[in-house]
Amino acid sequence: MQRIRVNARWAIGVVAVAAMLAGCGGGSELGGNGLLDQIDSADDVAVGDAIDGSDDMVNIDAGPSALVPGPVTVFTEAGHATVTVDGRTIDHTSSEFGGGFQCFISDEQLNLAVASDFGSMTLSAMPVDDGWIGRFTADSDEDADTWIQYSAQPFDGELGVDFDAHTLSYVGTAVRQDRQAMADGELDTPTVNVTVAVNCDIEPATVEIGAETFTFPPFEADSMICQVAAPDSIDITLNSLATADRQLQFDVRPDGDGVIGGVSVIDGDDRWSSVISTSGGSADGLSVDGSTVTYTGTFEHTSDTDLELSEEVDGTAVVTCPT
């Protein structure tokens, strides 16, 4: 059984970039000719501008820390984000119950925010005149009773990005910070080698209803629950109401010798819904192939702004859950 719960917003990753620009956690690395000397005020970089890829970001003078993305050099499976450091490999997966996995890879920004039983990892980057600047942090899993974090603020190494495959890699250095040791007066923060691989290549969920086509990228949702364990145990929610005013729900549960459930799409004021029922015969349109579920049936179209609207249209919903 795979299940994902993601409750953070994309603002987390964007705020992380703004924090990096403001000198958060960078220490002396950002002094002198660093990023603080390259912008007038970090407050000028708004979250909305970062998401939209506004000129406020691309006009920042890159300085010597900008990286020109090359090909991806380190790989992992889809729905995974791994970091290898200090001889250990930490594998964050999107299928962990109670974890979080948000990933956005475009030519305007890179944002990764994951959390699992092994801690959290973030990676954020944005384009500037001469390349990309960004930051990376990852918790260590070697001792749950201490706080050890690896941080590259800004990047210092090689950044690889494949926008079509939704994958990226970072091979470079990071600073090892041990909070417990620092509290005891040990201020040593050694620089260590780090290797990061991220794969967000899961096809967006698609719903085609009549002449309408809706897409729901799973790792870009405001919040997500995704589970495909069997044809009679489906619990999918891709919620983008805060950012796109759109949501997909796909639920099926056992009902006697059959199943009962439904598919619902919300897009602004409009809603399309279909009942999946073995007793009603509509469950014949339901099929599961591994982690992909498909349903074809009749949807009722209603609207919050037109209470008299009620029309039936044929549609198909296809969702692949990360594993």
Instruction: Identify the band that residue 144 occupies on the pLDDT scale cut at 50, 70 and 90.
Output: low
Instruction: Identify the band that residue 233 occupies on the pLDDT scale cut at 50, 70 and 90.
Output: confident
Tens of pLDDT along 182-193? Answer: 666 667 789 999
Residue 262: pLDDT above 80? yes
Residue 314: pLDDT above 80? yes
Task: Count structural domains, the chain.
Answer: 2
Residue 74: pLDDT above 80? yes
On whether both 167 and 259 belong to a single domain, the answer is: no
On whether both 312 and 178 belong to a single domain, the answer is: no
On whether both 166 and 19 belong to a single domain, the answer is: yes
Report pLDDT for 183: 65
Residue 267: pLDDT above 60? yes
Is 225 among the domain residues?
A: yes
Looking only at the bridges linking them, the beta strands covering 292-303 and 311-320 are antiparallel
Residue 6: pLDDT above 60? no
CA 2, CA 322: separation in Å to the nearest integer?
8
Residue 55: pLDDT above 60? no
Is 114 among the domain residues?
A: yes
On whether both 90 and 109 belong to a single domain, the answer is: yes
Tens of pLDDT along 191-207? Answer: 999 999 999 998 899 99
Percentage of the chain modeled with pLDDT above 70: 76
Is the Cα torsion angle 140, 142, 148, 154 positive or negative in sign? Answer: negative
Mean pLDDT estimate for the chain: 79
Angstrom CA distances, 250 to 102, 175, 265, 319, stand at 20, 44, 9, 9
On whether both 17 and 161 belong to a single domain, the answer is: yes
Is 140 among the domain residues?
A: yes
Report pLDDT for 8: 38
On whether both 191 and 219 belong to a single domain, the answer is: no
Tens of pLDDT along 62-73? Answer: 344 789 999 999
On whether both 234 and 305 belong to a single domain, the answer is: yes
Is 244 among the domain residues?
A: yes
Mean pLDDT of 14-35: 36
On whether both 192 and 223 belong to a single domain, the answer is: no
Percentage of the chain modeled with pLDDT above 90: 53
Amino acid type, 253:
R
Tens of pLDDT along 121-137? Answer: 999 999 998 899 999 99
Angstrom CA distances, 97 to 67, 92, 226, 268, stand at 35, 12, 10, 30
On whether both 174 and 241 belong to a single domain, the answer is: no
Domain span at residue 259 reads: 205-320
Q: Which of 213, 217, 228, 208 is nearest to 317 (CA)?
A: 208
Instruction: Answer with the one of 143, 171, 199 that is the final residue of a domain.
Output: 199
Tens of pLDDT along 238-261? Answer: 988 988 999 999 999 999 999 999
On whether both 215 and 312 belong to a single domain, the answer is: yes
CA 286, CA 252: separation in Å to the nearest integer?
10
On whether both 128 and 35 belong to a single domain, the answer is: yes
CA 186, CA 91: separation in Å to the nearest integer?
29
Higher-confidence residue: 287 or 3? Answer: 287
